[in-house]
Amino acid sequence: MSNNEQQITNNTIVSLTNVSIFQQENKVLDEVNLKIDRGEFCYLIGKTGSGKSSLLKTLYGDLIFKNGIGEVAGFDLSQLNRKSIPLLRRKLGIVFQDFNLLEDRTVGENLDFVLQATGWEDAAERKNRINDILTDVGLFHKSFKMPHEISGGEQQRVVIARALLNSPELILADEPTGNLDPETSDEILFLLRNLARNNNTAVIFATHDYRILEKFNGRIIRCQKGKVLDEENFVF
């Protein structure tokens, strides 16, 4: 293998070849061919029920991989099991529309819970990591706030911080701005784009808000009629 070929291989974070995606026995997407590189920001669009969430669930091992060739963050999707799925997810940051924060814990305690659950044993190291990541998302001063004491946009920033704690190679954002107003949605989008660029982290940003696409052009991956169409750098 040439040096150039090796570089291309090492730079790829998602690779799907002739993949079919199922919800139980129902085929949702067919002949999916997709390659995403480290540091790349991609929009994932499509109507409700078009397969966006199913595609993301396949990438983080929540749906059984049935056929084709698939690799995410160095993991063969066809070989995932109970032991390897948690290892895969440590390399991923997952951001949902629903915040799912622990309401009886402060912002800092929410993040500390995740660090402890993923093997961070040293309390001082956890504290430093929490401070660093909250600074990155502009919430250093909100560490001691309860989730209900901060705005929806700030809660989504906490969710993004939670997803970034273990320095993921890929962030999967499933309608992360669906419950937010346009101005706050733009702030969240800017945050994720900057994080992707600064940390060489790939981001797949699923959305039905075409206003965002019109305002911030970029690579678009579209789920439509059972297919995944890669429109590369599409500009409205």
Tell whether 18 is covered by a domain: no
Torsion of CA 115, 41, 73, 124, to 10 degrees: -20
Tell whether 183 is covered by a domain: yes
Judged against a pLDDT cut of 70, whether residue 90 lies above it is answered with yes
Segment 151-160 mean pLDDT: 91
Judged against a pLDDT cut of 90, whether residue 195 lies above it is answered with no
Tell whether 24 is covered by a domain: no
Tell whether 26 is covered by a domain: no
CA dist 212 and 195 (Å) reads 17
Number of independent structural domains in the chain: 1
- Higher model confidence: residue 179 or residue 88? 88
CATH number at 130 reads: 3.40.50.300
Tell whether 23 is covered by a domain: no
3-24 burial by CB neighbour count: b if 16+ within 10 A, else e?
eeeeeeeeebbbbbeebbbbee
Structural domain containing residue 211: 41-64+81-234
Q: Whats the size of the chain, residue-wise?
A: 236
Is 0.95 topped by the overall pTM? no
Instruction: Please work out, in degrees rounded to the nearest 5, the angle formed at the alpha carbon of residue 163 by the alpha carbons of 162 and 167.
Output: 110
Tell whether 135 is covered by a domain: yes
CA dist 20 and 15 (Å) reads 13
Tell whether 9 is covered by a domain: no
Q: What is the mean pLDDT of the chain?
A: 88
C-alpha neighbours within 13 Å on the C-beta side of residue 175: 13
Tell whether 6 is covered by a domain: no
Judged against a pLDDT cut of 50, whether residue 2 lies above it is answered with no
DSSP 62: S
